Amino acid sequence: MPCAPSLPCHVTFSRIEIHHLPQIVDIEQRSFTSPWSLRQFAMELARPYGDSIIMADEDDGRVLGYALWWVVLDEVEILNVAVNPDFRRRGLGRLLLTELIARADLNGGRTFFLEVRPSNLAAQALYDSLGFQPVGVRPLYYADSGEDALLMRLTIE
């Protein structure tokens, strides 16, 4: 059985394609209180400065996680990252972000930014463990709750 609770998943990475979007939207809806729509994902995939990856189960092709980001000069804005809720707490988020950082680095990305809810302590702990540090607050960032966003940055050499 792929991705058994006691075993790591065998995963592959590739760019997000249109046919992945139904699975991605399902994960998105189960992960966020203000999920992106299918249209929003499609618009991001069309941006010339945007990039994306899915992490899929090598055995059955099921999407386990995804990430989208922009690279502008040497700055990377991480827009959206999620792991399928059924497969969390297995190191897949770390694996996904490590792959994102490596790919963006190949395209000249040196400084990475992301926003995270202050209430999302699990995500903050993951980002912190990868070297991201809080650098500011975006007031009233989340429209659904009025919650601020914690701005985090990672700089690589």
Annotated catalytic residues are 115, 127
Q: Considering just the CA atoms, what is the radius of gyration of the chain in Å?
A: 15
Six-digit token string for 113: 């930014």
CA distance 127 to 40: 24
Q: How far apart are CA 141 and CA 147, in angstroms?
A: 6
- H or E stretch including 143? none
Structural contact between residues 16 and 54, judged by C-beta atoms closer than 8 angstroms: yes
CA atoms of 60 and 146, how far apart (whole Å) = 39
